[in-house]
Structure 1
Amino acid sequence: MASSFFAQRIPSVSAIFSVYTSLSAFTILFRTILNEIIPVKVRDFLVSKFTDYFSSHFNSNFTFIIQEQCDYVTNQTFRAAETYLPTLLAGTSTGSLLVRSINLKNPMAKPRYGIPVKAKITDEFQGIPLEWTLHSEKTITLTRKEFRDMIMSDYFTYIAKSSVDILKHIENLKIHTYNPHNREWESAVFQHHTTFETLAMETELKNTLIRDLDAFSKGKNFFKTVGRAWKRGYLLYGPPGTGKSSLVAAIANHMKYSIYDLQIQSVADDAMLRQILTSTENRSILLIEDLDCSGTDASCRNVNQDEKEGGENQNKKKKKEVTLSGLLNFVDGLWSSCVEERIIIFTTNHKEKLDPALLRPGRMDVHVLMDYCTPVVFKKLAALYLEIEKHDMFEPIEKIFLEVKATPAEVTEQLMVSKNPDIALRGLVEFLLSKKLTKKNEDTEIKEAEA
């Protein structure tokens, strides 16, 4: 009875074929009318809307794409994810890991592990499972359909805060140099040993710098309140060999900031300079050394002016180059706010050659004279290299320093001759007396020439 009932309800093959034929004919007719009446652009728009609608409702995943570059600056969300994801190595679903040993001081140290390209990393946030994928060194994706709003509002903020905490406790700093051919920063591990504890410098000046750096690191709210970019500028000037580079290293180690060492001579023009500097990270040091030789000082500009007046090198005059205004605009102009918590350090051997515009307050907040060796600096060097606090020869050596100019680098070279304090200090006395005699002879020759 039941079988006969269902047999009556099931349509015949001919009926199904008839319905299929009718639908096919209707579809062809509808497509023809659609193509004839509706313009191509309107059809494409409708198709795209239908596709987006069905994809958003029936696709099981939603993907956030995070790329390294965003407009003219580095994508800080990418940097935060790049810092945060290595802490999730336990959640990688790949059969491989990057193994790196970057401790130059201890080759036997435990290696560090990284995430290879194409690897998938799982994370959990407030009970929500998440999946990251490292597609390349410049693109990361995060996949999840549900809780999209929470991820956008809370999870990315959590990653940003976590990355800041991680960077504050980072063990290995980096020093970056710009490669103009590849148009990108290249980095190496920065393991300079100089700290403020080992830096040979006048005690009062050293303490002043430490207080200034500490106040800067805690001054985010202050800079925001007064409406200034969160940055600090230092000008280190003095003769070669007086410890300018060592002071930069001490600042980097004290602040836990990586260094971006920019050779301004290799930058083509102002546009390239903006592109280079906006691709640096927060909490970093921008170092421009030998500013007096960069072409932005007054002497170089005077030479260029003389060439223009003489009508020489017409082809060279048309060549683009970094201008003083371009550099100033980034140091103290609108572009200076692109990166937060930045320290800008310029070094020069000849402060008098710099354009006065570079020395204006607000651009170089602190001017630090790295001078010749003093008795205080000498004692610090002797304690470091000879491991002595007192010696009978200290007093006569200190008296010679009042008459002879010697750089800390020259003194260090003499102290490293021997571990025996007597031998090293005698050699230093002979070196200083030789410099004194040479200086006396030069002064005599000058006076005779003037006479």
Structure 2
Amino acid sequence: MMILRNILNEIVPQPIRDYITPKVVALFSSYFQSSFTFVIEQKWDFCDNQTFRAAEVYLTTRLAGLSSRELLVGSSDLKNPTAEPNLGIPPNTKIVDEFEGIHLEWTLHSVETKTYPYEKRYFNLTCKKEFRDKKMKDYFTYLAKSAEKIMRHREDLYIYTYNREGSSWQAAIFEHHTSFETLAIEPQLKTTMIDDLDAFSKGKDFFKSVGRAWKRGYLLYGPPGTGKSSMVAAIANHMNYNIYDLQIQSVSDDGELRKILTATKNRSILLIEDIDCGADASRRRQTKNEEDVELQKQKKKPDLGISLSGLLNFVDGLWSSCGEERIIIFTTNHKEKLDPALLRPGRMDVHILMDYCTPFVLKKLVAMYLKIDDHVLFDPIEKLVIEVNVTPAEIAQQLMASKNADIALKGLLEFLENKKMKKEEDTKVEEEGEIEDGETKE
């Protein structure tokens, strides 16, 4: 072999050797090697590879007893820096698994590239050749089901924001503790939401039978400070779903929107807040005169941004089928500004008014913040709550002023009385203005 190698090096030119050598190695390997390797890349077609994602989730449960010289550890828990770090999958480290007595070896590889996404990540799964078909038939199904089970019982939820420079979603631990038990809303709305969410989570077969994507759309609308963000947190905690918070005004066009949205995972919430402010595509269609005025304003501006059709195509079009068990939530302070096409059934399935404080919501907030169920000031405060528009956020702010119930409720009463006086003054000014306008016309 040494003589043969020397002869080849002396006689055969280098380019020919480079061409022949891999083919000879592959030929001998196919006959003499007893192992087979599956390559599982992070990307598959236009979307993330679901098998890769399942492997990422599943293999973290096989790291505790990993016998290697290094381990990947870290924590994204900003609220608890002293918490025990989590284990991550270290690159180029062999992870051993066993399935029905068959020995399996996993290895994560990462290679830098010169084009997007600038890093190619993939798993190698190695087993004996004779078990290749069994792996394809049984093991990958077991892998997917195990990962799904782990995700349903995960302890930490994450909120993602899109990093446009890196073209990727970046995560932080979501520790908003609002639940439907602590959310200050009317009992009927609470029951309606819980029943609807539970029916959705169990509706896979139903959605499939009627030929619809397994998704649900909620529109939360109402004045600022009425608990729209808290409602989102309660939904996420009830469903145990991660949140993808998309600032839609930062999306340049429909193509980028598709790339962003198809990178979200199943069993998640896509949140687009203040949609009436974020994209021209979501706003009410204008009249002819309004269009002419707006056209003159926009003549010198570049034609950028997402279109209404681009947004609707993901909400209710063909692209809505790329993924399942997803909840889409839009929030707005001005429902009337949204294009009617965005509000049709099948796009935003449930419209939820998050309104001003009611007597029930008031008592719920007082019970949570002051730990009392009754007080001598309840009656005058309830009457003022009915007379003036006050948000739950404003009520909560007043209740947090003191842990002493007498002091906190007295401050709340004064706040509501001042709010009532201001309302009466504003009404008086408006009436006087209308009278003056009428006299001027005469």
Q: TM-score, normalised by structure 2?
A: 0.87
For structure 2, list consecutive stretches of 5 or more residues without a partner in the other structure: 111-119, 436-442
Q: Does 1:205 align with 2:193?
A: no
Q: Does 1:316 align with 2:301?
A: yes
Structure 2 residue matching 1:139: 3-state secondary structure: strand
Aligned partner of 1:62 in structure 2 is 36
Q: Does 1:378 align with 2:362?
A: yes
2:99 partner letter: F
2:367 partner letter: A
Aligned partner of 1:133 in structure 2 is 107
Structure 1 residue matching 2:155: 3-state secondary structure: coil
Cα distance in 2 for residues equivalent to 1:74 and 1:304: 43
Cα distance in 1 for residues equivalent to 2:374 and 2:37: 68
For structure 1, list consecutive stretches of 5 or more residues without a partner in the other structure: 1-19, 32-39
Aligned partner of 2:401 in structure 1 is 417
Aligned partner of 2:128 in structure 1 is 145
4+ aligned runs moved over 6 Å, structure 1: 46-51, 300-304
2:109 partner letter: H
Q: Does 1:360 align with 2:344?
A: yes
Aligned partner of 2:249 in structure 1 is 265
Closer, same or farther: CA 366–313 of 1 in aligned 2, 3 Å? closer
Cα deviation code 1:420-449 (max 9, x no counterpart):
011000100100010100010001000100
Deviation at 1:112, TM superposition (A): 2.5
Q: Does 1:287 align with 2:261?
A: no
Structure 1 residue matching 2:176: 3-state secondary structure: coil
Deviation at 1:307, TM superposition (A): 5.5
2:422 partner letter: T
Cα distance in 2 for residues equivalent to 1:371 and 1:308: 32
**Residues 291 and 347, structure 1, Cα contact 8 Å, conserved in 2:** yes
Aligned partner of 1:6 in structure 2 is none
Aligned partner of 1:83 in structure 2 is 57
Cα distance in 2 for residues equivalent to 1:447 and 1:254: 48
Q: 1:195 aligns with which of 169, 179, 188?
A: 179
Aligned partner of 1:172 in structure 2 is 156
- Root-mean-square deviation (CA, aligned residues, Å) is 2.4
Aligned partner of 2:84 in structure 1 is 110
Closer, same or farther: CA 244–271 of 1 in aligned 2, 3 Å? same
Q: TM-score, normalised by structure 1?
A: 0.86
Cα distance in 2 for residues equivalent to 1:389 and 1:414: 17
Aligned partner of 1:123 in structure 2 is 97
Identity %: 62
Cα deviation code 1:255-295 (max 9, x no counterpart):
00000000000111001100100011000000000011022
Aligned partner of 2:69 in structure 1 is 95
Cα distance in 2 for residues equivalent to 1:260 and 1:105: 20
Cα distance in 2 for residues equivalent to 1:105 and 1:182: 25
Deviation at 1:339, TM superposition (A): 1.0
- How many residue pairs get aligned? The number is 410
**Residues 291 and 348, structure 1, Cα contact 8 Å, conserved in 2:** yes
Q: 2:372 aligns with which of 369, 374, 388?
A: 388
Q: Does 1:400 align with 2:400?
A: no
Deviation at 1:111, TM superposition (A): 3.2
Cα deviation code 1:101-130 (max 9, x no counterpart):
445555544332222222210000111101
Cα distance in 2 for residues equivalent to 1:360 and 1:202: 25
Cα distance in 1 for residues equivalent to 2:406 and 2:294: 60
Cα distance in 2 for residues equivalent to 1:308 and 1:372: 34
Aligned partner of 1:71 in structure 2 is 45
**Residues 358 and 364, structure 1, Cα contact 8 Å, conserved in 2:** yes
Cα distance in 1 for residues equivalent to 2:82 and 2:408: 34
**Residues 72 and 279, structure 1, Cα contact 8 Å, conserved in 2:** no
Cα distance in 2 for residues equivalent to 1:159 and 1:298: 44
